[in-house]
């Protein structure tokens, strides 16, 4: 709980600073410091053994001044109300950064789907939609996959919503299977977005991607897609890590070989003897470091020892506030998570647009539009940081909050 509370209060701190820098009054912060709507639901599910188990679920809608709220639904034993609130605020900022007509939303259910049967997960997914159906919809709040949820769960949720509303509503949810109105390129979108940010950051530092040495912490879904994209683009991946350790080769690792060998949890280092620690991984000689695992990995302790000139956050909150200041003071270009991982919500937006118009795009078209959106967002944040003399994180929050604050003002809310 304390870590989630910390995430929530630190997000509020940056929002406050961003709004002050943008010249908005205290009332605007009062409106935007918490979600406008927070729903807690109880979901009874008949389990396979015949007993009924009651689950708790949440849906937070941060602000809908710009348009409907948007954000994932996570199934996890440690989900709580504070985490869902904080993540809905992050989604608002992400949507603002890539200039989408959305506010942020987030949902979650306290459960462990790894210990449940497919039937139980389906009944829980449908029960959640029944419980929140009044506050969601294609023009109100659009869910998507998140931790331990996938396209199958989205399909069940869409089917349930369509039967409640008695019409087919593919635009109610994104991250669906292609045959049910999902978008091409959605699976790889987050990693693709991080790759675009890495390329743009390298350009700002006068580096060619094919000449760079990159360290990637984390080899799960995001980390492995990312390693593959960068490896194929000709970059040298000199270090990767998973939960059990890290691998290092100054001449570059063979990513295709490692991807073939890793297990379904993204573990590969256990197959090697000469591994290094996570601590050593962050201190390797390289040009770019990409934390793509869990939060609070770059701290005041290891930030002074980082040799890279660029850090791109693919994970949520991998760098502490103290470390952000140290890296910025050292002249290291830090690309914050809210910008780097905005590829997923951008392609979710494309999916919603395609659902609404009933016309679907090729993967090339999706990738082209994603590139355009993220390059423009990156440059906007970078220029704001330079012109306002602030770090990239604060600049990203300023860009991310501006539309929402202005829309709230035009509507006469503040």
- Catalytic (active-site) positions: 106
Phi, psi of 11 (to 5 degrees): -65, -45
Q: How far apart are CA 29 and CA 376, in angstroms?
A: 27
The set of residues, in sequence order, having a beta carbon less than 8 Å from that of 238 and lying 6+ positions away, is 213, 214, 215, 248, 249, 250, 251, 252, 253, 284, 285, 286
Query: 341: how many CB neighbours lie within 10 A of its CB?
Result: 25
Residue of 122, 148, 308 lying closest to 217 (CA atoms): 308
Q: How far apart are CA 44 and CA 48, in angstroms?
A: 13
Chain position carrying tokens 């019409």: 167
Distances from the Cα of 82 to the Cα of 213, 252, 276, angstroms? 38, 41, 36
User: Which tokens go with 199?
Assistant: 């390329």
The set of residues, in sequence order, having a beta carbon less than 8 Å from that of 20 and lying 6+ positions away, is 29
Q: How far apart are CA 296 and CA 319, in angstroms?
A: 5
DSSP state of 262: -
Do the Cβ atoms of 91 and 15 come closer than 8 Å? Answer: no
DSSP collapsed to 3 states, 234-245 = CCEEEEEEECCE
β-strand pairing of 236-242 with 333-335: unpaired
DSSP codes, 197-262: HHHHHHHHTT--GGG-EEEEE--SHHHHHHHHHHHHTT-EEEEEEETTEEEE-TT---HHHHHHH-
């Amino acid at each position: 709980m304390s870590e989630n509370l910390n995430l929530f209060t630190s997000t509020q701190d940056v929002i406050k600073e961003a709004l002050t820098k943008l010249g908005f009054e205290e009332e605007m912060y009062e409106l935007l410091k918490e979600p406008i709507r927070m729903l807690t639901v109880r979901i009874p599910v008949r389990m396979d053994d015949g007993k009924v188990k009651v689950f708790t679920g949440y849906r937070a809608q941060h602000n809908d001044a710009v348009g409907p709220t948007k954000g994932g639904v996570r199934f996890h034993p440690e989900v709580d109300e504070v985490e869902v609130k904080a993540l809905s605020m992050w989604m608002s900022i992400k949507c603002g950064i890539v200039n989408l007509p959305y506010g942020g939303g987030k949902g979650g259910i306290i459960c462990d789907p790894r210990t449940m049967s497919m039937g139980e997960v389906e009944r829980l997914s449908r029960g959640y939609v029944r419980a929140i159906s009044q506050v969601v919809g294609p023009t109100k709040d659009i869910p998507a996959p998140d931790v331990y949820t996938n396209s199958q769960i989205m399909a069940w949720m869409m089917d349930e919503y369509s039967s409640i509303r008695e019409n087919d509503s593919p635009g109610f949810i994104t991250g669906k299977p292609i045959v049910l109105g999902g978008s091409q390129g959605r699976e790889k979108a987050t990693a693709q977005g991080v790759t675009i940010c890495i390329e743009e950051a390298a350009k700002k530092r006068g580096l060619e991607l094919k000449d760079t040495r990159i360290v990637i912490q984390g080899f799960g879904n995001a980390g492995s897609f990312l390693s593959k994209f960068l490896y194929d683009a000709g970059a040298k991946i000199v270090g990767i890590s998973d939960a059990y350790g890290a691998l290092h080769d100054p001449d570059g690792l063979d990513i295709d070989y490692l991807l073939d060998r890793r297990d379904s949890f993204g573990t590969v280092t256990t197959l090697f003897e000469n591994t290094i620690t996570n601590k050593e991984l962050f201190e390797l000689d390289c040009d770019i470091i990409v934390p793509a695992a869990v939060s609070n990995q770059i701290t005041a302790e290891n930030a002074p020892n980082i040799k890279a000139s660029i850090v791109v956050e693919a994970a949520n909150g991998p760098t502490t506030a103290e470390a952000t200041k140290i890296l910025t003071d050292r002249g290291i270009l830090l690309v914050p998570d809210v910008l780097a991982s905005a590829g997923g919500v951008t392609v979710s937006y494309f999916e919603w647009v395609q659902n609404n118009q009933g016309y679907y795009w090729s993967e090339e078209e999706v990738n082209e539009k994603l590139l355009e959106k993220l390059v423009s967002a990156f440059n906007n944040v970078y220029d704001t940081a330079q012109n306002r003399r602030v770090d990239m994180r604060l600049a990203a929050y300023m860009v991310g909050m501006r539309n929402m604050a202005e829309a709230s003002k035009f509507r006469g809310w503040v």
